[in-house]
Chains A and B, each alone.
Chain A
Amino acid sequence: MARNKYDVDEQLETPFDFGHLKRSFKYIKKYRGKMILSLAISILAAIAGLIGPLITQRALDVTIPKGRIAELVGLAALLLGCTLLSVVLGNIRSRIMTVVGQNIIFDIREDLFEHLQKLPFTYYDDRPHGKILIRVINYVNSVSDMLSNGIINFIMEILNMVFILIFMLIVDVRLTLVALSGLPLFMALMFAIKKHQRKAWQDVSNKSSNMNAYLQENIVGARITQVFTREEENAGIYDKLNTSYRKSWMKAVRLSNLVWPTTDNISTLVRAAMFAVGLLVLPAGTASLGTLAAMTGYASRFWQPIMSLSNILNNFINNIAYLERIFETLDEPVTVSDKEGAEDIGEISGQVSFNDVTFAYEEDNNVIEHVSFDVKAGESVALVGPTGAGKSTIVSLISRFYNLTKGSITVDGKDISEVTLKSLRSQMGIMLQDSFIFSGTILDNIRYGKLDAKDSEVVKAAKTVCADQFITLMEDGYETQVNERGSKLSGGEKQLISFARTLLSDPKILVLDEATSSIDAKTEALLQQGIAELLKGRTSFIIAHRLSTIRNCDRIMYIDEKGIAESGTHDELMEKKGAYYALYTSQSA
């Protein structure tokens, strides 16, 4: 299984092509109107900019030699007007494009986030979370300018180049050819650089991803680091990651920085060649001196857009390294998803059947094999057995967190792979082993189970699970701010909050996976009454090691060796004197 860790680069298989750029047109298209408008404004501004030199020329050629001060003032006023116009136009364009750029990244980010919500657990399990995070935030941010202003500037510069080329052709075809002769050389060099450059920037994105993944794990695990006094060693690892990032960056800019000087030198070389050809090679007189002067002027203007273009391209190449990571995530297959035409399961009663279910997280390593059982609506089922036997796996299959390898599971007679995930999961309450706490108030954390719950409902749920007492003792009661890895809540308290959350969601099928493991015995005893209340009228699956908590379940299944080894009520299983009996007696010994 290819699981990624902080010091392993993520391989990217797709070869570079402008396909990524083409694909991003999907996001640009929405703003086509505004982009075209901006382009039009830019062209208008460019034209306004062209008037300036004409005015100056007129002033120098006619107005000043003839000493017409009034006309000079008039021309200055005209020039002022042009300047004002081009400033205003430029500002309008910036205003439009700022919004467009922000909108584009908003859209990309939204798509990315929505897609991430659909991805299965395995996606999150397979790589450090920091690597996912920087894609959503930093990578998306960095492509904003490329997809908005970058594209317009790109078009503008091309237009610019074409116009000047036309002027040049009109003036003198031979000298134009000389000016163009630098182009093949330019292209050859650019292609040579580009190939390495792309690799180099990919490497930068990989190294930054590694570095940030390690950083995130260390923020989350700072306490563990301190417990094991690993500060120095971890800092050392981070230094290494940091160093290889720095190296990759330097390598990339070493290449990127080559682009501009290369263009500059070729441009100068071309102009020198034009002088040489015009003055020395062409038979005297065929290229008039005026033509030559005009041509060299044009030549430098012709290379200006090329230089700008090479800079824009440079930018594109850097950012495409990020863009391809974004698209890669968007292309990540959604393995657990609604089938086409999947229906809402409707209100369920809670009947669950496993029909010859086989499941493996990884190929050829079945966790459970040929498991079949039926659970009536309202029945409570306990799953017991050694750790790692597959108890959690069985319950997570009911919510269809994973797809089955073989067999089927039905809820109320409907195959769960045929109904919408949302309709299924929203009627299930799963209390996981890990109780995750979102940053926010305790109230919000419990309310996560039922978003429109009134405060009083939240408090009631908290009371049922015996959490009310410690919550009201906290500094701000239910309004106390807590967070993911905060120290304000003990493990037991987190479990109680997560319990209240599940209770509030009022599920038809309830799954308690070691839900009370960190809760002290006394609270647990109290909680048992709450749970008994909770179980009424619901189908429930309970995983617990303390058998005292599950004795009263309607059915107990002993899970071992990839399947159900024993099944029956407590009394039946005790009668049988099998694995359950052994386990039970060992606990009470």
Chain B
Amino acid sequence: MIRMPLASASLLAIAISLAGCGEDKAPVSQTPAPAASSASAPVAVASQIDEAAGKAVVSHYADLALAVFSDAASTGKALQGAIDALLANPTDATLQAAREAWLAARVPYMQSEVFRFGNAVVDDWEGQLNAWPLDEGLIDYVAADYQHALGNPGATANIIANTELQVGEDKLDVTTITPQLLASLNELGGSEANVATGYHAIEFMLWGQDLNGSNPGAGARPATDFVVGEGATGGNNERRRAFLKAAGELLVSDLDAMVVQWQAGNADNYRASLQAESAENGLRKMLFGMGSLSLGELAGERMKVALEANSTEDEHDCFSDNTHNSHFYNGKGIRNVYLGEYQKVDGTTLTGPSLSSLVAKVGAAADSALQADLAATEAKLQALVASAANGQHFDQLIGADNAAGQQIVRDAIAALVKQTGAIEQAAGKLNIGDLNPDTADHTF
């Protein structure tokens, strides 16, 4: 038995219960002295953080968030345009173009998720955009062997086929499909598998169910599902078209709203309140976000559950088989925050005062260790991308009989866990102790 490094010991401390598969956590409030431990917190030591330098890093962090969310919004609008083109003339080519626009929109969005943990304004908002896994039978037709959350009253409600939904004892009028209606249907009947909005609902519209399990292939919805009149397939096509259009509109308006939260010079937005806090608080949020996405969310919920349960149901982008890219860009987002860098969709790179330079001033070794771990993680996540390019996608890698594939996923998880330890060490150098990244109840 190897003695555990302190970092992982502190993670284990809050990570004993069995793992869950949910996407929405209670928002974590980040304060420098959590109530639960304030009485036994060590005597305050003089902060090693130069307040001005720290504030500059936090300000640049907000710039990064603004750039990432702005790119998410612009690629979201491009997706909306592609959806309009598909609906105007549903062909294989316009469907393919819409799928490509969706894939492109995921690139900045997945890099934005590092801002989710620690910033309640993002965490409270993101469910409507990226909730998963979903019971797609809520939305549209599904195959006969469709499996859903037990006891979910909306699991087979099929909004597209019905103008009235019976959910438990309640009847809901869904005659007119609008963005507001879709938003109101999220978590219908209390089941978090009821997701009628966001990237994954749109993904299901564009690809359809992936019926290949751990075999090659993604969803294969035909463009004719959006045709009205001759050649139409799927049934209820006017409503399917309305659904896709409304989901696209809601996505764009949600993304635009988040851009506003990060703009400078707005006294009432989230950025203003973040920058009004102490530098230490802002830095804590940054590090907590990096650690929580690394550990509980990406390594745990998005990889370990799917891997250990050999469950394609728990694959992140399960309809499109784009999971490798989603994971890669999640990892990239973590690295961006540490290095203070972001390569925008237009190809230019935003740089500025970084956490890395702040850590390096007080602990050069901790900084280079974390930089090395972040690079190593990127390489391990790149292996998922390379495998997909060679024809083996994430849902195949997690197959029960695919030992070599499983190892690729396992290596990525291990790199993320190691990196989280280095994040905690770096935080310690800045006197930000007890980081306790969200483990989402996973042990590693």
Q: Do chains A and B stick together as partners?
A: no
